[in-house]
Amino acid sequence: MDPKTLQAKLDEARFVYDGALITTLLVALKLGRPLLVEGAAGVGKTEIAKVMAYALDRELIRLQCYEGLDESKALYEWNYQKQLLSIQIRRESAMPDDLTASLFSDEYLLERPLLKSIRSEKPTVLLIDEIDKADEEFEAFLLELLSEMQVSIPEIGTIKAKTIPFVVLTSNRARPLSEALRRRCAYLYLEYPSIEKEVAILRAKLPNVNEHLALQVAQAIHDLRENESILKKPSISETLDWVSALEALGISDLTEEAMSQTRGFVLKNSEDLDALAPGGCTHEHSHTGCGHHHGGGHECACGGHGQEEREPAEGGLQVRRFP
């Protein structure tokens, strides 16, 4: 696949990208290297695997990682019920050694995501999501698959890949990943989008979006992410949800009242809602007004400064007025 073809496919999928992302995806694909994508929660890491599955016209196989994940959930498991039934039926007619050998064959093998991806007759996209949530032991277990595209099953032996999947690993950096894992992967780090890029995402995902509203929401989301008092930073999907909620209510201007009514679509825990409660200033600044410290001349909605561009917003959310 050449760059123009990939760009056209991503455009069809309404995915906003830049040149560095296109280059990384193409090189990883051509070299058959897994791609490790790191970044904060909600920056679009998982979306990369989804759009690549669309662009390559491949099945997306997803392994969601969590603490305690092991081979039986990620690689394979034996169908014990079927094995027991077979033993009951054949124990009088089959030789013990033949019976034992037959019980550990493909007929009784339950494929989990990792095994399914390399045994597929057609190439797939394998998403290993949030690898940082899995134990270090599981991470070490993955190394054989990532480097050799094969897995070892004690009862069967080594199974080599029939086709090479495009592997995408994502990490929220909840814990450091091993150097051995990083060496086997191409690397991409995603940051939260700029205001301009977030507006572009809104245009792509919501083609009929009100431009004025999209710009206001993108600015408000940017301010929330910059606010250290917000524990759970709004994701891109929550930006889309917020705009969709506002438009569903027929709102075309992000006023203080509109913010107050729809905050639950962008702030998802009580602590964050409390941090932006009316009458509370969650920013720090050194200017007069609220007595807090704000670095770099950052504007605050509490009335200390920036009155020309910002108006106080109910609940502490900030509204930037655009002409």
The larger pLDDT score, comparing residue 291 to residue 31, is at 31
CA distances from 240 to 177, 250, 258 (A): 31, 15, 16
Q: How far apart are CA 223 and CA 317, in angstroms?
A: 8
Region 232-245: mean pLDDT is 94
Q: Is the pLDDT of residue 190 over 80?
A: yes
Which tens digits make up the pLDDT trace of 39-94? 999 999 999 999 999 999 999 999 999 999 988 889 988 878 887 887 777 766 66
Which tens digits make up the pLDDT trace of 96-121? 666 666 677 777 788 899 999 999 99
pLDDT confidence tier of residue 297, bands split at 50, 70 and 90? very low
Q: What SS3 string covers the chain?
A: CCHHHHHHHHHHCCCCCCHHHHHHHHHHHHHCCCEEEEECCCCCHHHHHHHHHHHHCCEEEEEECCCCCCHHHHCEEECHHHHHHHHHHHCCCCCHHHHHHHHCCHHHEEECHHHHHHHCCCCEEEEEECHHHCCHHHHHHHHHHHHHCEEEECCCEEEECCCCCEEEEEECCCCCCCHHHHHCCEEEEECCCCHHHHHHHHHHHCCCCCHHHHHHHHHHHHHHHHCCCCCCCCCHHHHHHHHHHHHHCCCCCCCHHHHHHHHHHCCCCHHHHHHCCCCCCCCCCCCCCCCCCCHHHCCCCCCCCCCCCEECCHHHCCEECCC
Task: Look at residue 292 in the predicted model and tell me its pLDDT.
Answer: 40
Sign of CA dihedral 12, 14, 15, 20: positive
